Chain A
Amino acid sequence: MDYKSGVCNFCGTGCGNYLNIQDGKVSGVFSSRNHPVSKGRLCVRGWHFHELLMTDHRISSPMIKVDGNFKNVSYDEAISFMMEKMAKYSSDASESTAFLASPRSSNENNYLFAKLARSVFKTNNITLDSESGHRSSMNVLGEGAGFPGMTGSLEDISKTKFILIVGSDITKMNPIIGSEIHKAQMAGTKVVTISSRVTQIARLSNVHLQIKPGSKRSLLAALAKAVIDTDQLDTDFVTASTDGYDGFASSVNRFNMADVLSLTGIDSDTIKQIAGELCSAESAMAFWSTGISGLDQDTVSYIYNLLLFAGKIGKENCGANPITGICNLQGGYDMGTAPDLLTGFQKLSDADAAAKFEKSWGVKLNKDSGKDLYKMLADKNSKLKCLVAADHDEGIIKYSKEIEALEFVVYFGTFENPFMKFADVVFPIAGVIEDEGTYTNTERRVQLSRKRVEPFENVMPGWKLFPMIAAKASLTWKYSSAEDVFKEITSLTPSYSGMTYEKIEKSFGLQWPCNDKYPEGCKRLDGASIGRKFKFAPVTENFTIHSATADYPILLIASQGQHFWHQNNIMKKTYIPKREYNATLLVYPKGYIEICKEDADKLQVREHWNVKIVSSHGSMIVAVKISEDVKAGTAYVPYFIREMISSFLLEHNQEFDKGEDTIIPIRIERI
């Protein structure tokens, strides 16, 4: 039979699929009916996965840049060139050298990438790309519940009684999770969505709280306040199972309920009613997106604390559920691609953990936490000279000028993409289904993607390539397959210690922790078993929101969309999703701004007219799209045009880093 089971490789949902492989080539995809997450469904991206896998826009050979042009060379030449150039930074590696890992790389490749950084190049400056919101969520859940991952399970969505969605455009970003929520709603689960724009999930919810831009935190604080005011606190749970209630309660009590309507646009009666329903529901889950469209740590802390108030953490069919936008964003952290982490969220500063790695790797590790690459690039006094990056398939290249100015850049990747032009040496790496590899989805499910075809133009898999580099530094890494790498990971990672390829494959993946205590993996965080109390997360009491001014009367919000997922380096390599993107591009070559009819009338502009968007930092010209999805005083841009991103949005770097809470006060001028 031509259909071979596999895992979708786009977003963090981790849907099951089948690939049709004929004569060693991919020629189709089909959905997996028995897969516990996707149950026979795929989204528009998943249904066209085969088109991406068929692309010939691939890196086919190692290359080095000679006089500004790439020249194909052998692996050996490329590695020698790289080692020679990087030798001069070795004395000062913790200042001069940084690694940029990818949430699209497999666990095995991310692990080796981090091992290369720490043991060969002696730097802890390792950053996982597109991650802003996810690390915040991991921090909150790790410190609060001792569980740095989704505390619930996607399979439990159909069983929970109350779902709160904070901000995420989930039917576009992670459509199959959106579908699961929709089906739960149809079956009687109460679904409440908080967002400033009417999204599809907002339309499919029982209640949509269309808040003013930037007021999520205020709304969450108001919900928490309402829990106290209406005496609905799960006192038994809070007393017996949590620490730090007083701190959070005093912050919340400082929220003035009289301000709620003016701050958020939602009246206090509605808020009291929702709070009551959340508390009295038998079970509840909250969802929010992480990654580049994620929330800040403070907002995530409010969500988590609110669930603690309602007694909805660590119980059946409950969960604080961050949603990853990219296939292995969770796995990237699990593999320790962060300045301060080893695998499985073990801390580099933990002497026992570090000693274990030193023994296994046969090297001395630098225990000082490294630096975040983007902070180094932003720092004018940084001594950063050299960057090693992997699988950077994002259309947005933040700090591109600073990267261009670096002395030496190495790139490892599967697909051709705009990041390559910064590189001095490029290594191709075998892609998904050309090599074995595990990927950890948003609910901690580690799934195995089997090798189904031979690598494009015989490019090397990671487990062969990275040891060749280590060998040049006289280190012996012995692997004869990706599975060998995985065995090393499980031997060093308590939360992965019970996993093997065989076990993972038999069960559509295993959810970590999977160890002696949970031999078959762990569906959800069990409050009874954590061995300590839940801690309330520290929060700020900053409820100020961006307000419009006379000069900039409209608040602009920005987000991604379905077909322009991750700014399209990946989507552009398909046919149908690319056609869909082009259909939008054809009509709006410069992008569009959504405003409501009322604002359009006030500005005296019509559909398709070009207008000038002016902020305190700059301006851009885009077309008007009149929409019922935004309220007066709010405008929305989906970012999918490179110029729009680089010449306007990135000028608001600090704002843009806030992901979903990017809010830019603007005015719209007729031209």
Chain B
Amino acid sequence: MYLIEKNNVMKLAEELAKSYSLYGPVTDKETKQVFFNKVASASEISLTAEIPSIPPKTVVFPQIERILEYKYDKGSKKVEMNADFDTSSKALFGIRPCDLTGILVLDRFFMGLEFVDDVYLEHRKRMFIVSNTCTVPFKQCFCVCTDSGPVAEEGYDLNLTDLGDVYLVEAGSDKGREFAEKMGLQKAGPEHTLEKKNAVDKSISLFEKLATDNKAWISRVMNRVTTGFIKEEVWEHIGKQCFECGACTFVCPTCSCFNVEDHNKFSGSTDRLRTWDSCSFEGYTKMAGDHNPRHPVEDRRNKRFFCKLSYSQSKKYLRPGCVGCGRCQWVCPGDIGLPNVVTYIRREITE
């Protein structure tokens, strides 16, 4: 464990920028919206900015990305293929614990099973992650209910915790430790460990006011979803509010559904693209002959909540699929962000 003065903390980012493409939370000057995005200079990053509107999953799983380029020559009937995808080394600076958890879930999906996704692996292979403890929760947060915050437990190379004048810097990997040593960071003592614990405890205590009834019910609701005891009417109430826009999946740090499309370019070659997709779309689950295991919209909706909240699904990710970031609530044109769904199910349980 190390310490770094607050006014020096960005030196870590500056140093990382020498060997990595640097990503972090950035505030748009015109509109004040926060993004997690690539920066040209470390000075653009803000460690105090609110939770980014777009999850950092875009770094490892972009909205649209080329996974292959090919060109077919009609004359010779030959195809020239070029597996040209992003292989840059990336550093994520200031990622929040919930979003880091999201990336760990995506790791299980793209790399943790039999098939390892090369494109995803390239993004992750040389990645350096600096996480940032949330000493104050943001108003839509409920990570304490989903075991994904307010402090990161794993998956980081370095973790920062704001202790007032200094940041406590914890190394979570050999790569992180070497980097801290190289930067000549001052060693921290046991009193700092205690200070961190106090900071985290205080943060957790602040959730009580935010995590009113609905969020605290997540484990009960998981039990209910897993055992399938939820009435059809509840799913219908949720389903009729679904506008089928896909936003909840797009902003979810753990949603991994994708589609593959060929984009024929004006130049004559073709890009094979991977794009985000969503289980809320009818065409996503449709099969030949109009068979659709999830035809009514409520079935497609509850598929998503099974994915996030059922035990069988959680076994795959080794944790719940929801990380408690609250973004789905921001973007939903209906009123069925995950916390609200929990509320609807809670109402059914209590009535």
Contacts and interface: CB of A to CB of B under 8 A. Distances in A.
Interface of A: 1-3, 5, 16, 18, 20, 27-35, 40-44, 46-47, 50-51, 54, 56, 58, 60, 171, 175-176, 178-179, 182-183, 186, 200, 203-204, 456-457, 505, 562, 575-576, 579-580, 582-584, 586-587, 608
B44 A580 contact: no
B245 A42 contact: yes
A586 B289 CA distance: 8
Interface stretch (B141-149, B203-211, B263-271, B311-319): B263-271
Contact of A56 (B33, B263, B289, B330): B263
A178 B243 contact: yes
A203 B240 contact: yes
B118 to A, nearest CB: 20
A59 to B, nearest CB: 11
Interface of B: 26, 28, 30-33, 35, 37-39, 44, 53-54, 58, 62-65, 240-241, 243-247, 250, 259, 261, 263-266, 273, 275, 277, 281-283, 286, 288-290, 330-335
A486 to B, nearest CB: 19
Given A42-B331, A50-B63, 15 more contacts: A1-B26, A1-B35, A3-B35, A20-B63, A31-B247, A50-B64, A56-B264, A58-B266, A175-B245, A176-B333, A182-B241, A182-B334, A204-B240, A579-B283, A587-B289
Contact of A43 (B62, B245, B277, B290): B245
A5 B30 contact: yes
B251 to A, nearest CB: 8
A46 to B, nearest CB: 8
A1 B30 CA distance: 12
A35 to B, nearest CB: 8
Contact of A51 (B26, B37, B275, B283): B275
Contacts of A186: 335
A34 B31 contact: yes
Nearest to A200: B240
A569 B340 CA distance: 37
Nearest to B297: A200
Contact of A27 (B28, B63, B250, B330): B63
B39 to A, nearest CB: 7
Nearest to A623: B290
Contact of A41 (B263, B281, B331): B331
B275 A3 contact: no
Nearest to A56: B266
A46 B250 CA distance: 12
Contacts of A31: 53, 247, 331
Nearest to B263: A54
Nearest to B278: A576
A204 B242 CA distance: 11
A364 B273 CA distance: 55
Contacts of A54: 64, 263
A43 B333 CA distance: 8
Can you list the 5 inter-chain pairs with the closest CB atoms, starting with the nearest? Answer: A179-B333, A583-B283, A28-B63, A587-B290, A56-B266
A17 to B, nearest CB: 11
Contact of A28 (B64, B283, B290, B333): B64
B37 A3 contact: yes
A44 B331 contact: no
Nearest to B27: A1
Contacts of B275: 51, 575-576
A453 to B, nearest CB: 14
Contacts of A580: 281-283
A20 B65 CA distance: 12
B245 A608 contact: no
Given A56-B264, A183-B335, A582-B283, A30 B54 contact: yes
Contacts of A587: 286, 289-290
Nearest to B236: A203
A32 B35 CA distance: 11
Contacts of B250: 47
A47 B247 contact: yes
Nearest to B30: A5
Contact of A42 (B37, B247, B259, B273): B247
A497 B283 CA distance: 47
A204 B33 contact: no
A47 B259 CA distance: 15
A43 B243 contact: yes
A338 B277 CA distance: 42
Contacts of B35: 1, 3, 18, 30
B107 to A, nearest CB: 22
Nearest to A579: B283
Given A1-B39, A34-B32, A47-B247, A40 B331 contact: yes
A196 B54 CA distance: 40
B63 A457 contact: no
Contacts of A584: 282
A3 B27 CA distance: 10
A392 to B, nearest CB: 22
Contacts of A46: 245
A33 B62 CA distance: 20
Contacts of B265: 56
A31 B329 CA distance: 13
B84 to A, nearest CB: 14
Looking at A3, A54, A58, A183, the one whose CB has the most chain B CB atoms below 10 A away is A3
29 contacts: A2-B38, A3-B35, A27-B65, A28-B58, A28-B62, A30-B54, A31-B53, A32-B31, A33-B33, A35-B31, A41-B331, A41-B332, A44-B245, A44-B246, A46-B245, A56-B265, A58-B266, A175-B245, A176-B333, A182-B333, A203-B240, A575-B259, A576-B281, A576-B283, A579-B281, A580-B282, A582-B283, A583-B283, A586-B286
B272 to A, nearest CB: 12
A584 B36 CA distance: 36
Contacts of B288: 586
A583 B286 contact: yes
Contacts of A575: 259, 261, 273, 275
B290 to A, nearest CB: 4
Contacts of A28: 58, 62-64
Nearest to B249: A47
Contact of A33 (B30, B53, B58, B63): B53
Contact of B243 (A35, A40, A179, A586): A179
A2 B261 CA distance: 23
A579 B282 CA distance: 9
Looking at A28, A29, A178, the one whose CB has the most chain B CB atoms below 10 A away is A28
Nearest to B291: A587
A5 B63 contact: no
A587 B283 CA distance: 11
